[in-house]
Chain A
Amino acid sequence: MIRISDIQSADELLPARMLNEFVYCPRLFYLEHVDGLFAHNSDTLEGAARHSRVDAKSDALPTAQEAVQCESIHARSVTLSSEQYGLIAKLDLIEAEGDLATPVDYKRGAPKSLDDGSLGAWDPDRIQLCVQALVLRENGYRCDEGILFYWATRQRVRITIDDALVAETLAIVAAARRLMDARQIPAPLVNSPKCPRCSLVSICLPDETSHCRAYVACEQSEQTQPGGRWVQPLLFDVGYPAANSESIESAPVRQLITSRDERRPLYLNTQGNHVGISAQVLKIKEKDKLIQEVRLNDLCQVNIFGNIQLTTQAIGALMTADIPVVYFSYGGWFHGMTQSVGLKNILWRREQFRQADSNRFCLQLAKQLVKGKIRNQRTLLMRNHVEPPEQALQFLKALTIEVRRAESLAELLGVEGLAARVYFEHFNGMIKVGSDDDRPRQQNGKHEFRFDFERRNRRPPRDPINALLSLGYSLLAKDLTIAATSVGLDPFLGFYHQPRFGRPALALDLMEPFRPLIVDSAVLSAINQRMVTISDFVVVGDAVALTANGRKGFFRAYEQRMDQLVTHPLFGYRVSYRRLLEVQTRLLARQLMGEILEYPVFETR
């Protein structure tokens, strides 16, 4: 018996399946096996479903000596390894006559049709099959050919395992090992038809990454910077190959990601509710009365405001489905979240921590973020103000230039604060419910409100608009915390916002340019479209807060904004804001890993 599926050290052996991916695309191999990222798409799911039927029962393969006595052998789902080459393979089916074995590998899809019209095998499949032959040989069998069975057309393709194929395979094994050791992610394929079919396309962002690589980081060059040539110094700090200033021809960016997230957030807002689960459906109860059922399949996140009970079983099911649960105080402070384990790409977080120690990196990124924020504030004023204030717009424009000159984070903070003051001075001009149509009502001695904004105040918010803004920023911080976490970065270590206990500094960094575009804009629609009205506010102590009903209205306004499609200025395709947050966070990870030199901040046109 030569099954080794239980042996721990199998880690060090290269699985045949990985080599298949290496041949398909080295970057895919790297993302999956060095960074530990994985995602399903329809192809991999279909493959997994097929395999689970093939694998349903795994057989023991007799040793080659025993096999000689047998007439013929059919063994399914056998795992074998080769010490000599450091390989391991799971074989779908082995057909053997005596000690002459033929591996049969099942593939979804159709065989390749060759120029002469005959059927052939795809390169990744040939190499994977050859690895299977090599492990069989090392286990004492003779193996001269293998068979690839393609499900889509139910056709078999025979492959001769000759010296040339073995040499080709061993060269690929060596190349894959070199790549694992090099710890340098290969560049994405350019305009390749493989990408749309690749399960990691939304993680890899091939066209977007290529597009952002205005400079190529390819040659291993020494630390000197020839006069005038700007080379990102940070890459040297961490021993990365230098960037050279050659620009690459960039192909048009294809939209390979879906424009919207398929799943929706759930907000639990009614105090005292109780949430359990049964068969993948959340049961939301008030006292003992069932008030709503929500399918896990429909959800991307669960937000809990205040006093709501979630059973351990429900949390467990949410974690299994990879749906984060986020906790807010009743008043809307973002407290924390529960998420499943499972992010393995530790190398990215290591890079994040390294870069956070570099002042130059922090300043460079912070400038981008602040510039983007000020530009977006300006755009919002231009678009929504009843009478766009020319002087303020000019001033904001001047400040974006000022940003470029800033030499420290403190200086940058000053410029940002100045811009915020000017912007919020004119915020009122974007509110289009005049006091005429929404007269503040004096409700038997109760506080009198109006939608009238003077300045931004937060702890606590002292008027309705500030209450909405505070809640909105809390929601946005939550969404970027989730985005950072799902990408595999640490939400608590930022570059512009310095670390402080309990503060999701990276999320706060990332949200800067989005504050006006998502939150401020959602607040304006909530008020202007009367999704929230004056009667939705109450005074609690010295703070102004939303009623449960008002909060519902604002959640809706915020989510409507998140769901809205917007054109990406760099890539030219349309995605929802929610999707955009993820794309932008991934681009930051690309910069951290040294693939692109500058974080492309999102600015609307």
Chain B
Amino acid sequence: MRSSFLVCYDICDDKRLRQVFKTLRGWGDHLQYSVFECQLTPADLITLRGQLKAIIHQDEDQVLFINLGPSEGRGDRVIEALGQPYCRMDSPCLIV
């Protein structure tokens, strides 16, 4: 079962920042500067954590995982946007 996470980061070095950004792009949507929203299974979370751990410097940088609960049926209940709209893709497939 997937859960939604807000992943927020504060990285002190430009190179590591780019690496963290690039890694997170593979896992979720870039919501705002330094904030991603990711739908992760427990296994995904472990893998992602491992990938980020390998990039960041433990004593300078920080990554926060904020668990918003199960993705399914979450709808737009937990995030409310002012200004630019926030929308969530819920369809069972992607068609381009």
- Residue numbers of A with Cβ under 8 A of B are 40-42, 45-46, 49, 52, 258, 260, 262, 264-270, 273, 279-281, 284, 291-292, 294-299, 552, 555-556, 559-560, 562-563
Chain B contact patch, size range = 20 to 34
Partner of A291, one of B22, B26, B46, B96: B96
Nearest neighbor of B72 in chain A, beta-carbon distance: A260
Q: Which residues of B contact A46 (CB under 8 A)?
A: 46
Nearest neighbor of A562 in chain B, beta-carbon distance? B92
Contact call A266/B96, Cβ cutoff below 8 A: yes
B46–A42 contact, CB under 8 A?
A: yes
The digit string for B56-78, where 1 denotes a CB below 8 A from any CB of A, is 00000000000000001000000
B34 at the interface (CB under 8 A from A): no
Bound complex: CA A284 to CA B94 (Å): 12
Contact assessment for A279 and B92 in the assembled complex, using a CB-CB cutoff below 8 Å: no
Instruction: Output the least CB separation between B94 and chain A (Å).
Output: 5
5 extra interface residue pairs, beta carbon distance < 8 Å, beyond A52-B50, A297-B26, A556-B91: A42-B43, A46-B46, A267-B95, A295-B25, A295-B26
Residues of A within 8 A of B39 (CB): 298
Residue from A46, A294, A297, A563 with most neighbouring chain B CB atoms (10 Å): A297
Q: Are A262 and B96 in contact (CB under 8 A)?
A: no
**Chain A positions within 8 Å of B42 at CB level:** 42
Q: What residues of chain B lie closer than 8 Å to A280, measured between beta carbons?
A: 25-26
Instruction: Work out how many contacts link A and B, with CB atoms closer than 8 A.
Output: 74
Which chain B residue has the least Cβ–Cβ distance from A576? Answer: B92
Selected contact of A265 from candidates B22, B43, B94, CB within 8 Å: B94
Q: In whole angstroms, what is the CA distance A280 to B25 when docked?
A: 8
Q: CB-CB < 8 A to B43: which residues of A?
A: 40-42, 45
Q: Which residues of B contact A52 (CB under 8 A)?
A: 50
Question: With a CB–CB cut-off of 8 A, which chain A residues contact B96?
Answer: 266-270, 273, 284, 291-292, 294
Residues of A within 8 A of B41 (CB): 262
With A281-B26, A295-B26 given, is the CB distance from A265 to B93 under 8 Å?
yes
Closest CB of chain B to A219's CB: distance in Å? 40
Pairs across A and B, CB under 8 Å, 13 listed: A42-B43, A46-B46, A52-B50, A264-B92, A266-B95, A268-B96, A269-B95, A269-B96, A279-B25, A281-B25, A291-B96, A295-B28, A296-B26
Given known A-B contacts A280-B26, A295-B25, A295-B26, A266 and B47 have beta carbons under 8 A apart: no
Q: Name the B residues within 8 Å of A560 (CB-CB).
A: 92
Contact of B92 with A563 in the complex, beta carbons under 8 Å: yes
Residue of A with least CB distance to B71: A262
Q: Is the interface of A mostly helix, strand, loop or mixed?
A: mixed
* Interchain CB contact under 8 A, B25 and A559: no
- Decide yes or no whether B9 CB sits under 8 A from chain A: no
* Contact call B93/A264, Cβ cutoff below 8 A: yes
Tell me if B13 is interfacial: C-beta within 8 Å of chain A. no
Once bound together, how far apart are the Cα atoms of A294 and B94, in whole Å? Answer: 9
A140 to B: closest C-beta gap in Å: 37
Which residues in window 1-50 of B have CB below 8 A to A? 1-2, 22-23, 25-28, 39, 41-47, 50
Please report the C-alpha to C-alpha distance between residue A559 and residue B39 in the assembled complex, in whole angstroms.
20
B67 vs chain A, min Cβ distance (A) = 15
**Most chain A beta-carbon neighbours within 10 Å: one of B23, B42, B95:** B95
Q: How far is the CA of A556 from the CA of B72 in the complex (A)?
A: 18
Q: Report yes or no: A45 in contact with B26, Cβ–Cβ below 8 A.
A: no
Which of B1, B23, B94 contacts A266, CB < 8 Å? B94
B95 touches A298 (CB 8 A): no
**Quick one: closest A residue to B2, CB to CB?**
A262
A511 to B7, CA, bound (A): 41
Q: Could you say which residues of chain B place their CB within 8 Å of the CB of A268?
A: 96
How far does the alpha carbon of A258 sit from the alpha carbon of B41 in the complex, in Å?
A: 11
Residue from B44, B46, B95 in contact with A556 in the complex, judged by beta carbons closer than 8 Å: B95
A42-B43, A46-B46, A262-B41 known; A556+B26 contact, CB < 8 A: no
Question: What distance in Å separates the Cβ of A284 from its nearest Cβ neighbour in chain B?
Answer: 5
Cβ B94 vs Cβ A264 within 8 A: yes
A49: contacting residue among B22, B50, B92, B94, CB under 8 A: B50
Docked complex Cα distance between A265 and B95 (Å): 9
Instruction: Give bound CA distance, A274 to B72, whole Å.
Output: 32
Smallest beta-carbon distance A323→chain B, Å: 12
Contacts of A296 in B (CB 8 A): 26
Closest to B26 in A: A280
Complexed CA–CA distance, A292 and B91 (Å): 15
Please give, as numbers and ranges, the residues of chain B lying within 8 Å of A41 by CB-CB distance. Answer: 43
Q: B95 near A555 (CB under 8 angstroms)?
A: yes
Complex: A295 Cα to B36 Cα, angstroms: 13
- A281 to B93 Cα, complex, angstroms: 16
Q: Which residues of B contact A264 (CB under 8 A)?
A: 91-94
- Complex interface: chain B residues within 8 A of A40 (CB): 43
Complex Cα distance, B45 from A42, in Å, reads 9
> Which residue from A260, A279, A562, A563 sits with its C-beta under 8 Å from B26?
A279
Complex CA gap A295/B46 in Å reads 18
Rounded to whole angstroms, the CA-CA distance of A295 and B93 in the bound complex is 13
Bound Cα distance from A559 to B1, whole angstroms: 19
CA distance A298 to B29 in the complex (A): 11
Considering only CB atoms, which chain A residue lies closest to B29 in the complex? A295
Q: Complex Cα distance A41/B94, Å?
A: 26
Q: In the bound complex, how far is the Cα of B96 from the Cα of A556, in angstroms?
A: 12
